[in-house]
Structure formats: structure tokens, C-alpha cells
């Protein structure tokens, strides 16, 4: 998708769980090689993702618009820690090499 010099980075997520789950990763922002954060961070509790039934898996897609001329990208991914509602952020290189 190209729109006004932007392209969409689309991510497909999957959440398997033993118990019914409503908390998901939300829409994580993307950080460009230029240090600019693209996208609006959406908290995990407010993500429009369906309930994952216990013992099953749910899959959903997120998209963040970034400049088409930007080269390197990192995704800021929040993962729930061992303490409920406490998240640890990870910066993951998603640059296509």
C-alpha cells in the first residue's frame, strides 16, 4: 500500500493460550532508522482483538504507516512480565536485509 509517500508495515500476530485471554500486544509503534517513532501506541488493554478462547489461538493484523524512503525499522514490542499489568518493552530489528 502506498499513499502520499508512505507505505504500511503490516504485522500478523498470533496468541495461543491455555486460558481465555483478552489482553494482547496492542498496536506497537515502529521506530525508523532516523529515530522517529511512527504510529500511535495503542495499549494492550484497548486493542480491538477478539477474546482468545482457552486452549485455542487467535490471529490478528496490525498496520503502521511509515515513509517509503526509510530504510531500517525497529518495532517496539511490549510483553507482559511475570507481574500482571507490568510490561517489558523490547526493541526488535525488523529491517528487511
CATH code linked to domain 2-93: 2.60.40
Cα 75 to the center of its chain, rounded Å: 7
Nearest to 66, CA basis, from 21, 36, 94: 36
Is the pTM higher than 0.75? The answer reads no
CA distance linking residue 57 with residue 42, whole number of Å = 21
CA distance linking residue 8 with residue 37, whole number of Å = 14
Backbone angles phi, psi at 40, to 5 degrees: -105, 125
Cα 48 to the center of its chain, rounded Å: 12
Distance of CA 63 to CAs 37, 50, 73, 92, Å? 14, 17, 14, 16
Residue-wise pLDDT for 19-76, tens only, equals: 766 655 667 888 998 889 888 776 665 556 666 777 877 777 888 888 888 878 998 8
Per-domain residue ranges of the chain: 2-93
Amino acid at each position: 500500500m502506498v499513499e502520499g509517500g508512505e507505505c504500511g508495515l503490516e504485522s500478523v500476530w498470533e496468541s495461543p493460550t491455555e486460558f481465555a485471554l483478552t489482553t494482547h500486544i496492542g498496536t506497537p509503534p515502529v521506530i525508523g532508522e532516523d529515530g522517529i517513532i511512527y504510529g500511535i501506541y495503542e495499549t494492550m488493554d484497548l486493542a480491538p482483538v477478539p477474546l482468545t478462547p482457552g486452549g485455542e489461538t487467535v490471529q490478528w493484523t496490525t498496520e503502521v504507516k511509515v515513509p517509503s524512503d526509510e530504510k531500517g525499522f525497529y518495532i517496539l514490542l511490549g510483553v507482559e512480565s511475570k507481574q500482571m499489568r507490568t510490561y517489558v518493552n523490547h526493541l526488535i530489528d525488523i529491517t528487511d536485509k
